[in-house]
Structure 1
Amino acid sequence: MNMVFRWFGEGNDHVSLQDIRQIPGTKGIVWALHDIPAGEVWPPERIEEVKQQAEAAGLHIDVVESVNVHEDIKLGLPGREQYIENYKKTMKHLAAAGVKVICYNFMPVFDWLRTDLAREMEDGSTALFYEGSRIEDVDPFELAKTVAGNPDVTMPGWEPERLAHLTELFEAYKNVTEEDLWSNLAYFLDEIIPLAEELDIKMAIHPDDPPWSVFGLPRLITSKENVKRMLGLNDSPYNGLTLCSGSLGANPDNNIPDIIRSFSDRIHFAHIRNVKIFENGDFIETSHRTEDGSIDIYEVVKAYYDSGFTGYARPDHGRHIWNEKCRPGYGLYDRALGIMYLWGIWDALERQEEK
């Protein structure tokens, strides 16, 4: 297991590279050029700048999260041809810098969605919270304004150009069905996977979060059945998955250890986190510890271990603890604790095998 840690860049993250370097067993950063709008080419010099910063701290830049997919590609519009060509150019630039995995998603309009970015828990910490009943009453335009109006919060996947044209985007998706979205994903994969093979760079789609439709928008990567369908769209090993235990795990019908064992050879990147699911389907993100949530993180890690997983893994969203001021879900302290919990399980499994 190659442990990595998400980093949003100098001037955009209160967590420093030196902080990350001090987390035991952490070898690299998961990064992106967040200021570049979806669809534009990432300049080689900007990529090199991040590489030099990371390597100076003794860290690698093997994993990018995310190279976001332009909405024209998801919608299947004529403009997708140019945006796919731009995507390919970015892939080439990243491969030249040594990037091994590109995480991306195919969620319309929004990336991950929560109704409360700092819900207080019993111990006084706060965490990301999803309250289903509020989604039906929430105006997505007002929600977007909240994000767009806060310069201290750069939510991944909520690019300014998406927020500025929200009305047009919702109108564009009005008649787009789930099957339409599947067809457009297949087209995208057929275009980029041959290049991924040539560049030796793995593509790893992230599940939808939460794994069901929101605001009436279609969503695809929501279950074991749909993961199988996605991998079958292009059977190349370079067409793979970012397995997020928290995203798929928000639906208790998804058996995460079983999904890991079923598709272990196509999982290029692992997001490991826990969520506590309430009886009404609401959920809150907890510590990584199994007992604190609804996902058996021990069994999740064991599934990776038993499968001989040697890919990249990171702790995903964490709580906000010890009065840390941080971007929602991305504090240093709880994610560092999460890494140590994951290593503790992994080390114990290794010790058991030695006996």
Structure 2
Amino acid sequence: MEQTWRWFGPEDAIRLPHITQAGASGIVTALHHIPYGVEWTVEEIEKRKAEIAADPALGLRWSVVESLPVHESIKIGEGDLEPLFENYRRSMRNLAACGITNICYNFMPVLDWTRTDLAAPVPGGGRSLRFNAHEYAAFDCFILERPGAENDHAPEVMARARAWFEKASESDKAKLLGNIMAGLPGAFDRYDAPGLRRMLDRYRDIDRNRLRENLARFLREVIPTAEEVGITMAIHPDDPPRPLLGLPRIVSTEDDLAFIVGAVDSPANGLTFCTGSLGAGQTNDVPAMARRFARHVHFAHLRNVRKDPDGSFEEAAHLGGDVDMVSVVTTLLQEQKRRRDAGQERWRIPFRPDHGHELLDDIGKKTHPGYPMIGRLRGLAEIRGVMTAVSSLQGLPL
């Protein structure tokens, strides 16, 4: 499996030599400065490639695009979408012309990953990302004041949410909004509470089936181009895998993944298998999902979570949460062997250590939430150890 690392470009506090020191060789990045829906030109792509390859001794290459974002209008299905589809196809062609052929994207409405606490304490003084169900309910019901929101939360969660809100200062409320808006680092849009209400209103007629239809339309529009230019598309699961703020989520369960790979039957239409996102689902059997959909996995995010009965969860150590990481890694290595034995040229599955704890000198540095250096370095080292052991025991190619 190709060891990769998410890098947010020249402004990232983590530098390219640090990534080489961590043992990764593939860079996962995007052109975050380009607004959603605007074509990525060859010039901009080559500029980023040149930044990554500026020091050949580092041995780094741009391996995966994360993300080529899908414009919100495509998710909603509103207006004349052909210019947006065409810009997306042009960006795909330009990436392929520059030798970058693996695209991770998501179809989460409005928000990407969502947490309520970006610095939850872990034993020994580290910090992790956490989703507290009662704080999310307090935001939904009492800060955002979404009509009918109380019906979406369990009574015991609502009681804790009300107690939190009654004690919260204005600073506490602003911090919670900021944490929820942190989302995917590099996301182009941020909202205050009124702006978020307006954005949610655009989705008032979008239910689960309608959102599925809009995703299927997107796939029909772009997968033929992917096949034409040799690109693989890898959709990222919802994070967390449940409806949020009244918005439907359609990349959350085994049934959802089956729908997606069946919507357009093509080797180019595949998955980013994120063990943390899927692992936050109370009923998801992540190792079983890995086995079922292994042939469709074009990219993997390997991280772990520890869940609470009320729907809260926190980022755990990469080998320390609810997900059986050894089982998932074994499945991916077995799939690699199948691809190699079948003569596939691109048989290695790129993966990256996803969200890590802030540890040691990470604490206080201006890194993106969830993306510190040392926490991910630890995660990559742990996963590399699992890979090496499984490969040795089962005779599987790394």
Q: TM-score range by the shorter chain?
A: over 0.9
Corresponding residue SS for 1:137: helix
Of the structure 1 ranges 278-287 and 164-173, higher mean CA displacement relative to structure 2 is found in 164-173
The one of 332, 336, 340 equivalent to 1:304 is 332
The one of 354, 358, 378 equivalent to 1:337 is 378
Aligned partner of 2:78 in structure 1 is 77
1:169 matched to 2:199? The reply is: yes
Matched residues in 1 for 2:310 and 2:198: separation? 33
Give how far 1:36 is off: 1.3
Give how far 1:343 is off: 1.1
Matched residues in 2 for 1:265 and 1:297: separation? 18
Corresponding residue SS for 1:133: helix
TM-score computed with the length of structure 2 as normaliser: 0.83
Give how far 1:145 is off: 5.9
The one of 319, 329, 339 equivalent to 2:357 is 319
Q: Which amino acid aligns with 1:92?
A: R
Corresponding residue SS for 1:308: helix
Aligned partner of 1:114 in structure 2 is 115
Are the counterparts in 1 of residues 112 and 183 from structure 2 also a CA contact under 8 Å? Answer: no
Aligned partner of 1:22 in structure 2 is 21
Are the counterparts in 2 of residues 111 and 156 from structure 1 also a CA contact under 8 Å? Answer: no
Q: Which amino acid aligns with 2:5?
A: F
Give how far 1:16 is off: 0.5
Aligned partner of 1:133 in structure 2 is 134
The one of 156, 167, 180 equivalent to 2:185 is 156
- Within a 5 Å distance, the mapping from 1:230-241 to structure 2 comes to 230-241=260-271
Aligned partner of 2:168 in structure 1 is none
Matched residues in 2 for 1:36 and 1:181: separation? 25
Give how far 1:28 is off: 1.0
Matched residues in 1 for 2:108 and 2:189: separation? 16
Matched residues in 2 for 1:203 and 1:8: separation? 20
Give how far 1:140 is off: 5.0
Are the counterparts in 1 of residues 305 and 313 from structure 2 also a CA contact under 8 Å? Answer: yes
1:146 matched to 2:178? The reply is: yes
Corresponding residue SS for 2:44: helix
The number of residue pairs the alignment matches comes to 348
Q: Which amino acid aligns with 1:196?
A: A
Show structure 2 runs of 5+ residues with no match.
Answer: 146-173, 338-347
Give how far 1:225 is off: 1.1
Of the structure 1 ranges 73-82 and 244-253, higher mean CA displacement relative to structure 2 is found in 73-82
1:36 matched to 2:34? The reply is: yes
Give how far 1:323 is off: 3.3
Matched residues in 1 for 2:180 and 2:305: separation? 27
Superposed CA offset, 1:52-89 (max 9, x none): 12123321112000011111101111232211111111
Give how far 1:353 is off: 2.4
Are the counterparts in 2 of residues 318 and 334 from structure 1 also a CA contact under 8 Å? Answer: yes
Give how far 1:204 is off: 0.4
Of the structure 1 ranges 189-198 and 92-101, higher mean CA displacement relative to structure 2 is found in 92-101
Superposed CA offset, 1:127-180 (max 9, x none): 11001122222035967963699xxx7843642366695333211101211100
Of the structure 1 ranges 195-204 and 156-165, higher mean CA displacement relative to structure 2 is found in 156-165
Superposition RMSD in Å: 2.1
1:182 matched to 2:220? The reply is: no
Are the counterparts in 1 of residues 274 and 300 from structure 2 also a CA contact under 8 Å? Answer: yes
1:351 matched to 2:380? The reply is: no
Are the counterparts in 2 of residues 73 and 79 from structure 1 also a CA contact under 8 Å? Answer: no
Aligned partner of 2:310 in structure 1 is 280
TM-score computed with the length of structure 1 as normaliser: 0.93
Relative to structure 1, is the Cα distance of residues 212 and 195 closer, same or farther in structure 2, using a 3 angstrom cutoff?
same
Aligned partner of 2:6 in structure 1 is 6
Superposed CA offset, 1:4-41 (max 9, x none): 10000112x111111101222x2210000111111111
Are the counterparts in 1 of residues 336 and 349 from structure 2 also a CA contact under 8 Å? Answer: no
1:100 matched to 2:128? The reply is: no
Are the counterparts in 2 of residues 103 and 206 from structure 1 also a CA contact under 8 Å? Answer: yes
Of the structure 1 ranges 177-186 and 46-55, higher mean CA displacement relative to structure 2 is found in 46-55
Corresponding residue SS for 1:15: coil
Q: Which amino acid aligns with 1:215?
A: L
Of the structure 1 ranges 48-57 and 219-228, higher mean CA displacement relative to structure 2 is found in 48-57
